[in-house]
Each structure stands twice: as structure tokens, then as C-alpha cells.
Structure 1
């Protein structure tokens, strides 16, 4: 049974609660005479680096372009180009900070590589990231790319914003993310020129390696060491070896700081020996030297940190990779940061792509068979699977799942004094994340979504097929609240393939049902129907246990939901009736309730209000008897709608007004706006045009302030 499919047919949350008769309506700040609470100006940049070597010429070029950007139809677009490690991202951040006073409406940031799957970015998800930064909650965001684009244009119109678009590979990826205002600035970073900007004129600012004197100054800022002035020849050799790349100079500076008692000439001589004996570039030798000074745990983490599929890693996930405790993981991360090999950001520790390549090369040298990396990867996948299941249980409560909760991940202990020796068990398990409640569990799922979705792919590639599809189960609840379509579609497709590899029949059925929904929400109806056709066929081979029969009913429910999304109300009715019959036979009272509710809504769409009233009245009664707060809410509001359509507006008022009070209590502006529109229709029915217009005006104001599309925009 898909009891967790609590969103409406369009993907919106339909939540309302009957709270008894309400004699008056109170509009809080939503009344037109009261100003709303001010929203914080977004500033999505990480803290400034302690040391930044100014690229003065490039900065002045951009500032002149900003000053002269008048009488242009679109925003100023600055394209920062250059090879990896040249410092494009940090320079973009620096420019954005420096110019932020010119753009008082905030600074937004999106990293397209975080959203890239098989080389392609789902641009709708990128627009969604920017809308979130503009304080548009997920339930207000449109599901389609076209709808989100309209929201973004509306939200950025007449604004003075900076939008930093990092790691674009093609101009076509960046153009839909440009703000609509001519008074805004877009900073786009790319390794090469962006030729396909679709008519948008960009100021190109190519970044070259730092000049020798600039690189020397940057090294001096990082190292803060008198030896630099005393031995300029050695400094010059180090800087030239780093190729003027800030990413390499940072590691070199930290390495110089670490060995304060050695002369720079000696350090350079040691690097030169490495160059002669191994024939590697000096920058590689610098990184090797930095790694040689690491303690055992930090060195072990450096060899496996690239197994994490997310761009940033926090201490709990690092503990899983190491198979150790949280404190040891924190110490190892801090040591890698001190060595310049990791950078601490608010979202976790990040590694530059150049260093990521070096870490992979070192790992292969230390572990040619890949055993240690495979074990670390397995621990990480199992740990994320376990945490996701625990978070999902808190967030959604018990529901139909088929994977067992993964056991705690066993800890390991490296053999002392033997680098990269096989790990020995018999230490405490890797600690779980401590969730204080539902809200924290939901926040954790969203904060870790890149790792969670990445682990699905990682598990499949490692042939850990059970882990792959089992990880999809808790991601279902997360998807309903956070529709990151590229991630969820990729993950559920992988879940289908993993279940097929194992021939796990319930998972084969369940994964196909869960894949179908994001597909039909993106209007990919044919593919969704194909997956549900296969799910229906496979379900015929299920047994007759209550759980298996419940799954069969769930398939029919998903078929009904797909037909509802396509406007086939008669077909949907047949599927919901079939599902309700199965739930009644196995004594699943909640399944009967849910299908009765869906049948009531379908009857209303078929313009059968009296039948809808009868069904929804029954569903509302069952929800109250079962003490299902969520379903009591939904059925009460839907019953109010049906009563109005059936000509019983007076009876409907209490239900809908109760729903309004509850939406305000929960702070759901999306539900509030929707319910206000229904109250306006009720007021029309009762002949109170003034009240109807007041409700509609408040709904329009809420929609505008929340970043939603108006009815006119949605229909255009």
C-alpha cells in the first residue's frame, strides 16, 4: 500500500485539520494592512579565505564592466575561465564579496557539478536550488522546468542580485540560471570558453596562473615564515614547481610551515631527489611530501576519502570510512585541513579536484588490490543505509518497506606501525547519528541528500545490489517533500536495476511503483505507465500473505494515481476500487480509509459531488476513529469542497474554516493560500462577495510573497 503517498495529484501536500467551529477569521500578518516579517537577504558564500592574492587587473576589469552596465536588457554576465586549480571559484567568491554592496538583494550560489549526473545537469533542479535561496519553500516550487523558470524570473525581476554559477561546462547550462533583472550580476566559472550562451553577451575574464611575484606573496601569506625572505632562490623554485596554481601553493605553504626547523634549500633538495628518482612533477612531489607528514589515521582517511560520493564530508561519514569513533575522525579531518589537503566549509570538508586525483593515485599505490578502499566504501554505504532508515522511521513512521534495517557498522582497528595493513575487528561499532526528533531527521536527510543518492549509484557499481535498492526505500519519503527530480529518477532507476539483478520480487514491484511517480510528475507518462505495467505483471507472482497482498493493492493504487494525473478518472476509480477491496479482505483499515479518500476525490473530479460527499464523509469518519491526524485533516478539507459542490455550502464552512486555522497554526502558507481560495468560493455561494474578494486578495498576496505563480502565470 502506498500509504505514504500523501501529496495531492499534482505533488502538493493536501493537509488540513478540522478543529471545530470557528466564529471569526484572523489573518495575522497576511492582512493587506500589516507588513510581513522581513526576509533575510541571502548570502550563500562561504567565509572568506584567510589569504587571497588579489588579481587586481581582473578585479578592476570586472568593476568597470559593472559600472558601465547600463541600458542593457539583461544582467551583466562575467565568465571566469581557466584550468583546474587556477582559483576560479575563490576568485568568483572574492569578487562577489567585494561587489555585494552594489547588489543589496543578496548573493546566490549554485555548483553545477553537485547536480551533474553522467555529465548532464538537470537544470530544473538547479533553478530549484536558486529558488530555495530566494526563500521559495519546496511546496511552493513548480514541478516543471518551465514553471520554475517563471518563478525564478518573477522572483529576480527588478532585483539587484549576484548569482555565482560554478563549474558550468556549457553555456546552455548557465543561461536558464541568469536572473531576469538588468541590475543583476551573474558570475559563471568554467574551464573553457562558453560559446553557446544563446545571444547573451558575457565579459570574458580568463584567469592565468599567478605571476611569480604574486605567487611568492601568496606563499608568504600562507607560510608566514622568515625563511622565505632569507632564501628567495628556494622560494622561487617551490613556486615555479607549483605552476602558479593557488590550490598547489596552499599545500606547499602548509608543508613549509610544518617543517620550520629545516632550511628551505634542504626541503627543495628533497623534492628534487623525488623528481630525479620518480620523474614526477614538483607539485606532485609537494603533495607527496605533505602526505608523508600525516599521522596514521589522517593518512588512512586521505586514501579513502574520495570514496564518499558527495562533494563534502562531515565527521560522522568520515568515521564510517575509517571504521572508527567520531573523535578520531574529527582529528583526522582537522589534520588534513592543517596540511592544506582539505578545506573546511559550512557543509563539511571539501577536497579540490586536483587533490582528489592525487589522493586516488596515492591510494592505488598503497592498496594496489583496492581492498581497503572497497571495505571503506562498503562501510560508508551500509552506514548511510542504516542512518537513512532510522531517519525515515522518525519522519514517516512505520510503513510498508521490504528491506531489513541494516545492522550497526562494525568498527575496525588498523595494525599499529604497519601502514595500510588489513584492519582488525573487535572495536566499538561506528556511531549512529543522534536524531532528536522528526524535524532533525528530515533536516539530516536533506543535508545529506547528495551522499545518499550517490551511495545508491556507488552500491550498484560495487555490486551491492541489496544496499542499492534498500537505500531507495527511505529516499521515497524524502522525495515527497523535496522533489529533486534528477537525483530521485536516477536513484529509483538504479533501484529497479538492482532489484532485478537479485530477482527480489517485492523489491522489483515496489521500485517500479516508486520510479513511476517522479516520471509522471515530469509528464513522462508513457515511461511511468510501462514501469507500472511491469509492476502489475510481476505482482501476480506474489504470494497471499497480508504484506504481499498489500503490495498488490499498492500497485493498483499507483496505477490509479497515474490515471488521475492524466485525467482518466473512470480508470482511476476502477483501480482505487480494486485496491480498496484487497485492503478490506486483509483487514487493513488504513488502506480502506486511504482508498475511500481517493475515490471521493476522484468522484469530485468526475463531477459527482453527492457521491463524493458520501465517500469523503465515510473516509473522514474512519480517519477520526483511527486517530489518523493527517488523514483527518485531508478528508475534512476534501469533504468541505465536496459539500460546496453539492450545494451544502453552509455545512462546508466549518470544515474549511477549521482547515484555515490549522494551516496557520502549522505555518503552511501554501495550504493557507489554497484554503483561502476555497473559502472565497464558499463566500460566493453564500452571496458574500466582499468576503470572497478579501479571501482572494489575501491568497494572491500570500502567493506573491511566497514566490508562487499566480493563477494567470500558471495558465499561460
Structure 2
């Protein structure tokens, strides 16, 4: 139940204003001072095997030097086929040009955010705002709001923004920084005809020339055979089509067979080309695959089953199903063969190699039984780890799936150090978890599909990635319906409604809640089912509140409170009393609000609900101020301020500082009130809030 109002962050604000008694204001800075945040640098480690593209680099450098900033930021669009090295060139140029753009380098891969071919650009803006030190608690909910935040945060900056894997210019334009002195590097397979930008330069990235390809091979592997047989090296480079993604694998393959003559190795590839009619680049990948050990070859074929672009070592162990050590050895072998690239966040497989791995998997496992078993293991493991992380991060709450058992010695549980670690894991594995929901539903594992949505609710409340959450919970609704699990059918609809109404899609949310309430009539009389009925009414009240129907919201919270009292469910009574008290205060009935919020605050303390103790206390302080009891109000508001700082909630802190300003102003201290308001504005500004947004003064 409590998750309906939860909104805590695991980050911390940079500015903290500590107020003692009236007349004192102490200001501290966590880390760097205002305006002194370290410049973001979101590029992976540089590849030592990058082969300079002199013409392309000269063109980009010339465009940068000639850019006056009079027509907006400079956009450099790198276009070319997959595997040609567009991203590597973009990264290389971004590193070279950092001195010209001292405010940092941001990176977003649109393919990571793509769902059914389209990108929710608001989520891409959220990724970029995170790179600009705007934590998710300060994000605006709407696309328009996030756009304004991004423009405000990038104003007067000299930034580089790398936008990878764009398909349409309409995906790129909203991601352009507002500063005309910034550089945007975009990669795409084709020309972005709808890129309506004045200062745009298209740079076609062609396959490497024969000489450049040979030099790249020489960088990948220092082998005396290259110098002894230059014509054979040129043949190999030509067979790879000048694609760095293929040359990487070819170089590692040659290095693997140091005792074989280079001519013999290349002759084997040529035989494959003529006898089987497959391109040499495919033959190169086949040769690298053929040289793998049994476990590494199995893992290579199974990696495309992972639903995210990066796989971690524990997830790879689950796919392989043969223990963490064997998986670690297999990953190391695949990396040494050039078939995987290790990144700080895990292992990434190039899209071309992913396609090759899928083809080899269909040959090795034509019936798909091994791949299906690997997916089941992976889905079950992600479901268990997410449920464990959710329990640690959010505590006991209303869930219906339960904690699944372990998946055996081949898949160890993640050792979470605490709440922050659990939340961090949910954040880092976000793409895999959302992907696992889709994968489970596609495989008919409907119980797993909707069960995975339950812990994703905890992540969503702190990280509003709307495309992900709406896609996941729509799938959860479909899975629960197909499974005919009545509580899940109701719960999934309620939870899907919230991101919809937060995006002002009120009618869709209303229809979902209408369906949920209709289905709730069929629930039984167990305590859990009665709690679910009451929760569904609460969700309807929250929607009414979002739409401005305060009287209707109050009626629903009253109904839900009575239902919880009958069970009895003390926490449910506490939560509904708090929601009801807040609502009647907004309706202008401060005396009734004081009574309700006093009751809620007392219950929160008795139940040792730290977060709700602070929030009920703050709401009670606001109500007391409106009834003229400023001394009592100040006591509660200051306690809430201490809690907000301990929790690191910058949005709560700014809101409380503004309430303190009203309190001291009513006591006649205008100067002190302005100091509080200034502190709130400074905190919001440093955190990236809009000057006129809901988190600012």
C-alpha cells in the first residue's frame, strides 16, 4: 500500500541548508560548490584498435572550427552501414574535441530505448538529464517539461552530445542542447532526411580502404606473418569488407592460430566462400566460432536470448547454466576471440555478431529447446533477484506473486549490501528487467511476466521511464488476463493507470480503474483480497485528485480508510488518513485536516514508518499554520526538514524550506523568510529544476 505515495531517491542534493533556531541559517555543500560539478564524461574506454579516418576527421574538425554558433548547435551526422565504425569514430572525435567543449560529453543510445521501432524521447531526455546531475526525483513528468529542463541545464554550455543509432531526425531534434556553442554527434544507418537543423553536416562513413583495413589488422594483432605475407593480409582485409567489426574478429582469429601459415588460414576462408557461397565476413565469424571451446560456443549461441544490450557475468552464468566459474571462463574466451566487448557495466555484443550468433544457434539447436531452457532460467532468475531487491528496498508491501525459489547452483543470488545496493541493481538492470517481462509473455510464461512487474513498480516510483513502465504493465495486464489471475488482473490495471495519469492520459487511466473496480467485486473476503479492494478505491481517489476532483478523491480515501479499518489493517488506515487529511487541507478545511493529520502522524510514529512520519508531520505543520498555531507548526516542519536531509530527498527539502519561509514570514521576519526562499531556489537550481517548475520556488 505504502508504495502509492513513495517517492524517495538514493542520490543526494549538493546543497544542504541547515536551519537552527530562527535567525540562524547554516549552509553546507556536499562535494563541489555550486557550478563546480565535475564535467560529465559518458564515453566508454577508448579502443586501442581505432584506425584514423583522416578525411572524415578533417571534415568534422573543419565544421567545428567554422561553426559560429549563430544558427544553433552544430550537428554532425555520421551515416553508414552497420559495423562500419560510426560509433567508434564518434567516440574518437568526442575525445579529441573535449578541450573545445569543456562542459562535458553526454551519450545516449536510442536503440536501448526503442520499443516497437519507436523511441519515447522523454525517456531519452531523462537519460541526458541524469548525465547533467539532475536526479530522477527532479525530472518533470511531461515531455515538454523535461525539454525545458534540458534547455535550461544546457544553456550557455559547451557540450558534446553523442546520439547513437538514430533512425529519424525527429528523434534527434528534441535532444539538441539549447546552447549554440555545443556539438551533437549523431550516428545512423541512413541519411536523416527529416533532420531539420540549420547547422548540420553529414559525414558518410564508408568501409575502410584496403590500406586502412590492413593497418587496423596490424593494430589488432602484432604478427610477423603480416609482414611476411602482405598480399594475404590484403586479401583477408578485403574479405572483411572494410568493416571494423569484422576485422576485429579476423585479427583475434589469426592471433589464435599463431603456428598456422597465414595463407592456409585465408585459403580455408576462400574455400568456404566458393563451396558454400557465404560471404567471407561470415566465414571469418564462423572460423572464430569454430575455434571456441564447448562452453564458450554454447554461451555465444545463447547470448542473443538475453533481452538487453549488455549482459553481466551473473546473467551469463544463468544463461549457460553451468556455474559462475565456467561462465567467467567462457566470457573471457569470447572476449579474447573478439566476439564480445567488455564494458564497465558488463559485456556487449555487436549487433552484427548477435545476428551471427543467432544463426549459429539455430543450426546447433534447430528445435530451440536449449534456447528456451536458457530463457526460462534467465526469466526465473531475474524474477527472483528483482523480488529480493524489491523486498530489501521497499519492505513488505502488497504483492501477489511471492518470492520464487532459487534456480540451483548454476545461478547464485546477488549479494545485496543494503537498500541502496538493491535500488542500484534495479536501476542498472532496468533494460534487462523490462525486456524479461516481454520475453516471458512471448514464451507464454504469464505468471513470470506479471510477477516481474511487481518489483518494477518500486523502480518506477523513483525513475519515471514512461515508455518502459507503460509497455511492461500493459504486458503485465495481458499476462494476468491470459492467466486469469484475478488479483493480478486488478493490480496490474491499477499500477498501469498511474503512469498514464501522470502523463495526463486521464481517460485511459480512468478506463483501467473502472475495469479494476468492476473485477474487484468478484474478489473474496480474505484479508489480502479486502486490502486489494481498498487499494483499488485508493487508486481511483488518486486519479480524481490528479484531475482536480478533490471532493471525489476525499470520498474515495474515506471509503478506503473504512475498509482498512474493518480488516483491520493499521497501515492502510494510516495511509488513507494521511491522504484524506492532505486532500481536505487542499479543499480549505484546515481544522479537519489538523485532526486527521494528527491521527496519521501519531500512527506513523507508533508503526515506526520513518518516511510517513516525516510526511505526515510536514502536512500537519502546514495545516497547523493555516489555523494560526505557528509554534506547533514550526516544530513539525523542522522535524520533517531533518528527515528529508537524512534521506537525501532534495525535492522534499526544497518544499519544506518554502513552508518554513511562510512560517517565519507570518511571525514578521521577512528577512529570514527570504533567506529560506533563497536556499530553496538555490537547491532547486543546483538540482536542475525549472525556475518556475513545481520543485522550485
TM-score scaled to structure 2, two decimals?
0.96
Deviation at 1:666, TM superposition (A): 3.2
Conserved 8 A contact 1:45-1:109: yes
Conserved 8 A contact 1:593-1:619: yes
Question: For residues 150-197 of structure 1, what are the alpha-carbon distances to aligned partners after superposition, in whole Å with 9 as ceiling and x for unaligned?
Answer: 110011000000000000000000011011111110000000111112
Deviation at 1:390, TM superposition (A): 0.4
Output the CA distance in 2 between the equivalents of 1:218 and 1:229.
14
Are positions 1:249 and 2:230 aligned together? no
Structure 2 gap segments, 5+ residues each? 13-17
Specify the SS of the correspondent of 1:100.
Answer: coil
Give the equivalent residue in structure 2 for 1:323. Answer: 321
Conserved 8 A contact 1:254-1:338: yes
Specify the SS of the correspondent of 1:394.
Answer: helix
Conserved 8 A contact 1:22-1:658: no
Conserved 8 A contact 1:41-1:105: yes
Give the equivalent residue in structure 2 for 1:627. Answer: 608
Deviation at 1:551, TM superposition (A): 0.4
Q: 1:662 to 1:27 in 2, by over 3 A?
A: farther
Output the CA distance in 2 between the equivalents of 1:647 and 1:337.
69
Give the equivalent residue in structure 1 for 2:273. Answer: 275
Deviation at 1:714, TM superposition (A): 8.5
Give the equivalent residue in structure 1 for 2:89. Answer: 91
Deviation at 1:37, TM superposition (A): 8.2
Which of 631, 635, 643 is the aligned partner of 1:654? 635
Structure 1 gap segments, 5+ residues each? 14-18, 411-427
Question: For residues 122-142 of structure 1, what are the alpha-carbon distances to aligned partners after superposition, in whole Å with 9 as ceiling and x for unaligned?
Answer: 000000000000000111111
Are positions 1:58 and 2:53 aligned together? no
Give the equivalent residue in structure 1 for 2:27. Answer: 28
Tell me which moved more, 698-707 or 537-546. Answer: 698-707
Output the CA distance in 2 between the equivalents of 1:302 and 1:712.
49
Give the equivalent residue in structure 1 for 2:580. Answer: 599
Are positions 1:544 and 2:543 aligned together? no
Which of 260, 283, 286 is the aligned partner of 2:284? 286
Give the equivalent residue in structure 2 for 1:516. Answer: 497
Give the equivalent residue in structure 2 for 1:115. Answer: 113
Give the equivalent residue in structure 1 for 2:397. Answer: 399
Question: For residues 83-137 of structure 1, what are the alpha-carbon distances to aligned partners after superposition, in whole Å with 9 as ceiling and x for unaligned?
Answer: 0000000110000001011110000000000000000100000000000000001
Which of 437, 452, 461 is the aligned partner of 1:471? 452
Specify the SS of the correspondent of 1:78.
Answer: strand
Output the CA distance in 2 between the equivalents of 1:626 and 1:181.
50
Output the CA distance in 1 between the equivalents of 2:27 and 2:669.
21
Output the CA distance in 1 between the equivalents of 2:696 and 2:504.
16
Give the equivalent residue in structure 1 for 2:66. Answer: 68
Output the CA distance in 2 between the equivalents of 1:382 and 1:616.
43
Deviation at 1:278, TM superposition (A): 1.4
Higher relative contact order (CA 8 A, sep 6+): 1
Deviation at 1:686, TM superposition (A): 1.5
Q: 1:400 to 1:653 in 2, by over 3 A?
A: same
TM-score scaled to structure 1, two decimals?
0.94
Are positions 1:146 and 2:127 aligned together? no
Q: 1:524 to 1:633 in 2, by over 3 A?
A: same
Pairs within 5 Å for 1:356-375: 356-375=354-373
Deviation at 1:664, TM superposition (A): 2.7
Deviation at 1:542, TM superposition (A): 0.4
Q: 1:713 to 1:588 in 2, by over 3 A?
A: closer
Conserved 8 A contact 2:83-2:246: yes
Output the CA distance in 2 between the equivalents of 1:56 and 1:626.
67
Question: For residues 378-413 of structure 1, what are the alpha-carbon distances to aligned partners after superposition, in whole Å with 9 as ceiling and x for unaligned?
Answer: 111110000000000100111111102121113xxx
Specify the SS of the correspondent of 1:4.
Answer: helix
Are positions 1:300 and 2:304 aligned together? no
Which of 576, 590, 603 is the aligned partner of 2:557? 576
Output the CA distance in 1 between the equivalents of 2:67 and 2:270.
50
Tell me which moved more, 197-206 or 235-244. Answer: 197-206
Deviation at 1:655, TM superposition (A): 1.0
Give the equivalent residue in structure 2 for 1:448. Answer: 429
Give the number of aligned pairs: 689
Conserved 8 A contact 1:147-1:714: no
Output the CA distance in 2 between the equivalents of 1:632 and 1:335.
53
Conserved 8 A contact 1:20-1:654: no
Which of 189, 192, 195 is the aligned partner of 1:194? 192
Output the CA distance in 1 between the equivalents of 2:184 and 2:512.
41
Conserved 8 A contact 1:314-1:348: yes
Are positions 1:562 and 2:543 aligned together? yes
Give the equivalent residue in structure 2 for 1:422. Answer: none
